[in-house]
């Protein structure tokens, strides 16, 4: 019997959906949402029925009905810290996502939409590897300030999927690999994978590790504190400065690395400095991760949208080639990663977790 899996990945201005027949994609489509239409709703959670109807219409347009679906899997939202894996959607998960107790994010809609569609046809709904996956060793959570604990918030879905690809290319089980996985996107996360766990990783959302196209990364604490207390920014503005308007965007007025490279090619020395400094900081983070693994690194796996930039990747490789060889996996296939999370449970390769 073949399994038909509906995959749902909600973003702030679109909802991506895909249909898989076991490991084979049937179709993959991005439903764009008009800003004026979204403005009718008080918050993200209020958009649930609107987005659900669009998903059902998309299925119908592609010649499928929900009655053909074996299970529904969605991108995980802002949840409490949990181990990696596929999780069955339950009431406690839905309550945390609907209340946004761990943060308001478009991905909170994923499990909500999956459950509402799954309930119509009496099948299971799942999520897999949300951004709050936490498998860090206890020693890695110590920050240097007792009131603050280092937290694991990173590109868990893509990092785990790429780590499995790297393990396959190395001819070893994932749990036997010692990897450094680098996700290069609007945010940048560098994770240490050992024994099948991400034992250390920078907080790629709230300000830790390398600066990125839209995020400031680690900042000298005292300077940051003075700026925060200066009265120049409100709390919300300061959050935006750290999470969405920092990094390359703050320096150059754009987070698009294609525009940055154009500036570099035109001879803009400041753009060249920022472009190279970001690669420098990524390489430095890889070096610190190599120390976690005591220098015994099977490979450095580089992924994300910026992995398509050969010049940027080359700068990273130049500074890290002494550690291990680099395996490059450009982009991030989140839809396939989600579908494979469902397949592993359906085929009994792993058990679904309860939240």
Q: pLDDT, tens digit, for every residue of 111-154?
A: 999 999 999 999 999 999 998 999 999 999 999 999 999 999 99
pLDDT at 333: 86
Intrachain domains 4-134+335-354 and 156-330 with the same fold = yes
110 pLDDT higher than 80 = yes
What is the per-residue pLDDT for 12?
A: 79
The pLDDT tens digits of the residues spanning 67-81 come to 999 999 999 998 999
Name the class of domain 156-330.
Answer: alpha beta
- For residue 142, the model assigns a pLDDT of 97
1 has pLDDT over 80: no
pTM (whole model) above 0.75: yes
DSSP 237-278: HHHHHHHTS-HHHHHHS---HHHHHHHHHTT-HHHHHHHHHH
Average pLDDT, the chain: 94
Q: Kindly state the percentage of the chain with pLDDT values over 70.
A: 100
What is the tens place of the pLDDT at every residue in 204-249? 988 899 999 999 999 999 999 999 999 999 998 998 888 888 999 9
Q: What does the pLDDT read at residue 104?
A: 82
Per-domain residue ranges of the chain: 4-134+335-354, 156-330
What confidence score (pLDDT) does residue 13 get?
A: 82
Distant-in-sequence, close-in-space partners of 298: CB < 8 Å, separation ≥ 6: 166, 170, 172, 177, 178, 179, 324
Q: pLDDT of 294-327, one tens digit each?
A: 999 999 999 999 999 999 999 999 999 999 999 9
Question: Does 1.10.10.10 match the CATH number of domain 4-134+335-354?
Answer: no
Q: Are 113 and 18 in contact (CB under 8 A)?
A: no
Nearest C-alpha neighbor of 110 from the set 132, 124, 94, 99:
94
Residues of the chain with pLDDT > 90: what percent? Answer: 86
Q: What confidence tens digit (pLDDT) does each residue in 169-213 have? A: 999 999 999 999 999 998 999 999 999 999 999 999 888 999 999
């Amino acid at each position: 019997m073949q399994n038909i899996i509906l995959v749902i990945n909600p973003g702030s201005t679109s909802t991506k959906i895909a249909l898989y027949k076991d490991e084979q994609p049937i179709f993959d489509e991005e439903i764009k949402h008009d800003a004026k239409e979204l403005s009718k709703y008080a918050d993200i959670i209020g958009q649930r029925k609107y987005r659900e109807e669009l998903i059902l219409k998309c299925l119908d347009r592609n010649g499928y009905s929900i009655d053909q679906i074996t299970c529904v899997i969605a991108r995980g939202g802002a949840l409490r810290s949990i181990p990696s894996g596929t999780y069955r959607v339950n009431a406690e998960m839905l309550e945390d996502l609907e209340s946004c107790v761990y943060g308001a994010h478009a991905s909170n809609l994923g499990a909500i939409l999956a459950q509402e569609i799954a309930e119509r046809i009496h099948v299971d709904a799942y999520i897999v590897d949300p951004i709050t996956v936490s498998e860090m060793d206890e020693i890695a959570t110590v920050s240097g300030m007792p009131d603050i604990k280092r937290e694991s918030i990173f590109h868990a879905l893509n990092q785990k999927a790429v780590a499995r690809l790297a393990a396959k290319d190395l001819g070893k089980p994932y749990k036997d690999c010692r990897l450094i996985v680098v996700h290069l996107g609007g945010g940048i996360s560098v994770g240490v994978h050992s024994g099948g766990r991400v034992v250390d990783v920078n907080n790629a959302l709230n300000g830790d590790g390398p600066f990125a196209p839209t995020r400031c990364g680690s900042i000298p604490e005292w300077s940051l504190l003075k700026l925060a207390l200066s009265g120049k920014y409100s709390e919300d503005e300061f959050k935006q400065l750290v999470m969405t308007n920092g990094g390359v965007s703050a320096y150059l007025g754009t987070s698009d690395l294609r525009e940055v490279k154009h500036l570099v090619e035109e001879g803009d020395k400041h753009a060249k400095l920022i472009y190279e400094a970001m690669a420098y900081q990524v390489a430095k983070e890889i070096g610190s991760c190599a120390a976690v693994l005591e220098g015994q690194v099977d490979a450095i796996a580089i992924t994300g949208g910026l992995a398509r930039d050969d010049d940027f990747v080359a700068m990273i490789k130049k500074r890290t080639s002494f550690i291990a060889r680099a395996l490059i996996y450009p982009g991030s296939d989140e839809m396939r990663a989600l579908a494979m999370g469902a397949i592993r449970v359906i085929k009994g390769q792993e058990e679904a977790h309860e939240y």
